[in-house]
Structure formats: C-alpha cells, structure tokens
Chain A
C-alpha cells in the first residue's frame, strides 16, 4: 500500500459505515454504498488534508482509491 493510498484509506474510514476492508482496489461509491453528495464531502476532506485542489469535473473517471491516489499524486507534485 503506497503512502497516498494509506492516507486516503484513513480519510475514508469515517465514511465507511458498512465495515468494508479498505484498499487501493476499493470502489469508493459502490463498495461503501455511499451517495454522490457523500463522495463529494469525502473529496473535500482529501483536498484539505493534502492542501490541493481536486475539481469535481476531474472525478468522473475516478472510481477506486487507487484512481484517486493518482489524482492526488499528480496534483501534489504540481504544487
């Protein structure tokens, strides 16, 4: 588990109400059974934790924790 993935899993834990084992392969919306608004709330926490901007429109192709980690890493390097 990369450092970004493990940090994302920690941030995701409060949204994990069905006790899913979190990993890079976790599908954030489908596996955790959380709705679109909750996903956006989670992304806001991620933005603040890494102090980066993740525009909502870049998230359409982002399903798993690994997908989100790629977005975070690309945006952290930029800054």
Chain B
C-alpha cells in the first residue's frame, strides 16, 4: 500500500479548485511593496488577508534593529536555548514582553504554533483535563494531543455548556485547564470572558487565553481581550504570537505562577527546537516598544475595522460575527462559489483569505479579510466596492446554479 494513496481525495479537491481558474491555497507574492501591497500575478494587489494588524512589517526602526542584530549576532542560533544557551536578545525580549503584559514571567517560542504546543503540553499532563472551545485553533488541538491530557470540547463561546461539562466530570484528582481565544481567527468573534470567569469561580480551574489575534489589538494597553474586559487578574496564562501585530515570527507564553519558569524544562516544543533567529527577536523587541509607545496604531485599526465591517453590512453581506473586529469574515454559499469569488477578487486587485471546511466551524465557506492599521480609507473603500461587485452581486451564484 502506497502511503501517499490516502492523499487522493486532497489531490482531487485541489484539482477542482485550480480548474475554477486559480490556486487559492498556492498564492505567490512576487514582491511585497508595503504592509498592504504586493505584486501577485504581475499585478499590484491590496493585501487584506495578512493578519498584519499593526502594519509594522516595514517600520524603519524595526528593520534597522533587525539589520543590527543580523550583523552583531549572525544569521541563526543553530540550536535550542537549553542546549546552546540563550542570546542576550532572547532574555531582553522576554523582559520586554513581561513588562508589556504586566506579568511576572514570559517565555518566548520559535513560532506561535509552538507556543500553544508548548504551553498546553507543559501545563497539562495525562492525569489532567483540558476543556477547549470547539472553535479552537489547530495549534491548541495539537498541543492538547501532545499533552496526553483528557480532552473535553465545549460548545463555542458557551460558558453554560462549559459549566455543564465541568459538572458532568468525575473528580479524578487531576488539574483542569480551560482554553479560550481572545478573538477567534476565522469568525472574528471574541470570547465572552466575564461569563467564563463566573464559571471559573464556581468550579475552580486554571484559565489560559490565547490572544494571538487580539494581542496589540484590544484593550487600553493593547494586551488583548482580558485587558479590554478588565479581567486580567482572573486569567492565569496568556499565549500570543509575534507573527501578527508584532510583524515577525515567534510566540510567547506568560503568567505569574511561581513555578512558571520551570515550564522551560517541561515543554518539548521549547526544548527540542532551535531558538528564534537574532533578527526576528530584535525586530520583535523594537515592535513591542512601538506598540507600547504608539496607541494610535490600535485606534486606527479599530477605526479601519469598523469601516470595513459597516461597509460590508451595508452591502447586505452575511458576516462571521455581530461585532466589528480586525477579522471580518464573509459567509459564502458553497465551495465552488467561494473559489470563484476569491478568483474574481484577486483578479480585480484584492487578496483575502479563502477559508473552507474543516478549517472553519460549522462547515462554513468564508472569504476572510484581516484589517491593518496601515490600510488607507481609499484601500478599505476599494475592498468594499469590490465585495459589492463580486460578492453582493453574486458572481458565485452562477457557479451554484450552472
């Protein structure tokens, strides 16, 4: 039996996608012109699917910090921090992030995916139970699997459902970890944190919030959903990524627990992988200082998000959630029509994400936009205009009917 024979269905699905006129999962950015512009298929394209929320990737000070680190520390660290030792930059970044988050401890990881793998598997073991939201990101699911913990899934954003499942559980002496996300990456909705904290007070679990899409974005200090909700004291652990608002690559876990630092010796995705490259760490340090010093970036992002959200609503599009957020997802009828509309949008000059099952909740097909503080009003109006022409006018319906 050929091991790869099982990929036949994926190959056929990909061929069907390409037969509709483009490869929505194989886009090549020939040139990146700015946080919001690239050359794709030889055409200048507005980028509205990059998660580049702060528009910080071409910031002159961040680039200079990266170049300096590249010259002073070299191209790579060639090993893990446990084996090879840390660079001064790594510990400096951890101090900066701990300060920004108002937490005692912060551990950085080489990617955001590994931050979730590491934190889930470091916090919970085979005798513990992890309760995870049904719409959790794959990195949370994978981290849970790696932990060996008992996994219980509760209905998305439903604190009463979590309460019911906690009440149903037998007391087995193990710890309980509940995992939420600040902003859910596909639909753009926030976790109703106060409701979950009421359940926490009743049942007594430890709470982790993944602020991947909300870090830098929400709250008076830009620390995420818990900051926005004024409930940081009730959140035990925070996870986040450098690949969105920070404009680099890497991730972090943070908390105040006195044993937090010992997680470094209990998280395989931290221990057995090379540490982040000096340039990436240095640009992250520069970026986090900018996010602290320039709250206007968050305000601009909120303004831009509201503009796109309201513009889409006025077109009568069915959106992912009822509240404006930098993730604006448009619900589409089915896979062929979504692919056709995605192709039409790209040809007209706007790049968004295509999101299809099983990567989406409830088998939804989505055209997912992410807003940047760097989008101009004209960019957003152009995106709204194109969604009006392509999606609201029902380009895709032809595919459905014919």
Question: Digit string of A13-40 for contact with B (CB within 8 Å is 1, else 0)?
Answer: 0000000000000000000000111101
Question: Digit string of A46-63 for contact with B (CB within 8 Å is 1, else 0)?
Answer: 010001110111000000
Interface residues on B, range: 20 to 34
B-contacting residues, A50-79, CB 8 Å: 51-53, 55-57, 78
A3 close to B (CB within 8 Å): no
Check if B129 sits within 8 Å of A55, measured CB to CB: yes
A55→B152 CA distance, assembly (Å): 5
Residue numbers in A under 8 Å from B155 (CB-CB): 44
**Interface majority SS (helix, strand, loop, mixed), chain B:** mixed
A10→B83 CA distance, assembly (Å): 55
Most buried by B among A36, A37, A40, A51: A37
Check if B151 sits within 8 Å of A53, measured CB to CB: no
Check if A38 sits within 8 Å of B152, measured CB to CB: no
Cβ contact of A44, chosen from B134, B151, B362, cutoff 8 A: B134
A78→B185 CA distance, assembly (Å): 38
Cβ contact of B134, chosen from A40, A51, A52, A57, cutoff 8 A: A40
A43→B170 CA distance, assembly (Å): 19
Residue numbers in A under 8 Å from B148 (CB-CB): 57
Question: Digit string of B342-376 for contact with A (CB within 8 Å is 1, else 0)?
Answer: 00000000000000011001110000000000000
Cβ contact of A37, chosen from B150, B152, B357, cutoff 8 A: B357
A57→B252 CA distance, assembly (Å): 26
Residue numbers in B under 8 Å from A41 (CB-CB): 134, 362
A78 → chain B closest CB, angstroms: 8
Check if A44 sits within 8 Å of B153, measured CB to CB: yes
Residue numbers in A under 8 Å from B169 (CB-CB): 53
Q: Can you name the residue of chain A whose Cβ is closest to the Cβ of B148? A: A57
A29 → chain B closest CB, angstroms: 11
Cβ contact of B151, chosen from A38, A47, A52, A56, cutoff 8 A: A56
Residue numbers in B under 8 Å from A43 (CB-CB): 153
Q: Can you name the residue of chain A whose Cβ is closest to the Cβ of B362? A: A41
Q: Can you name the residue of chain A whose Cβ is closest to the Cβ of B164? A: A48
Residue numbers in A under 8 Å from B152 (CB-CB): 53, 55-56
Q: Can you name the residue of chain B whose Cβ is closest to the Cβ of A48? A: B164
Check if B151 sits within 8 Å of A55, measured CB to CB: yes
A43 → chain B closest CB, angstroms: 8
A39 → chain B closest CB, angstroms: 10
Residue numbers in B under 8 Å from A53 (CB-CB): 152, 165, 168-170
Residue numbers in B under 8 Å from A37 (CB-CB): 357-358, 361
A40→B133 CA distance, assembly (Å): 12
A52→B168 CA distance, assembly (Å): 7
Question: Digit string of B144-185 for contact with A (CB within 8 Å is 1, else 0)?
Answer: 110011111101000000000100111000000000000000
Cβ contact of A35, chosen from B134, B150, B165, B358, cutoff 8 A: B358
A36→B134 CA distance, assembly (Å): 12
Q: Can you name the residue of chain B whose Cβ is closest to the Cβ of A56? A: B151
A17 → chain B closest CB, angstroms: 10
Q: Can you name the residue of chain A whose Cβ is closest to the Cβ of B357? A: A35
7 CB contacts below 8 A, A to B, read A37-B358, A37-B361, A40-B134, A41-B134, A44-B134, A55-B150, A56-B153
Contacts beyond the supplied A53-B165, A57-B151: 10 A-B pairs with Cβ under 8 Å: A35-B357, A35-B358, A44-B155, A51-B168, A52-B168, A53-B168, A53-B169, A55-B129, A55-B151, A57-B150
